[in-house]
Amino acid sequence: MSDYQDKIRVRSCGILVKDESVLLVQLRSPISRELIWTPPGGGVRLNEKLEETVQREFFEETGLTIAVKGLLHINEIIENRFHAIEFFYLVEYVSGVLKLGNDPELSSKDQILEKIEFKNKEELKDIDVFPDYLKEQFWVDYASTAKS
């Protein structure tokens, strides 16, 4: 996990909604080493657009091909030796079969992905979800996006 320390990391993540639930992966946080739930996503590569990153990362972690609908939220993390700027996009399902993938940047023994599940608004209140934006404000933003 030291690869994420002492540099600014730019991440692009996707929020997929199905039946009023969001798709989340459970992983071991590189910051706290605790298990957290978060939307699929990961680091932007050199010369890769944010939307390309979220599509690539989403496929690697979930087996799903998605289309990017629009930017919903930007989150910045500064904690100890970690600094990340994260872009969260609303995405929609295009094709594929949902399965827990892996992070090709990490060796098989260093994988951090544990589970993949859809969680509804009520379930989000009782789990360690990151960012906190997903617990309440996301649903407000999503409702206004769905109306337009």
pLDDT digits (tens, 9 = 90+) for 56-85: 999 999 999 999 999 999 999 998 889 999
CA distances 64 to 14, 16, 49, 131, Å, are 11, 10, 19, 22
Buried b (16+ CB within 10 A) or exposed e, 89-116: bbbebeeeeeeebebeeeeeeeebbeeb
pTM (two decimals):
0.91
Going from N- to C-terminal start, the domains of the chain cover 2-138
Q: What pLDDT does residue 110 have? A: 74
Domain 2-138 homologous superfamily, CATH:
Nucleoside Triphosphate Pyrophosphohydrolase (3.90.79.10)
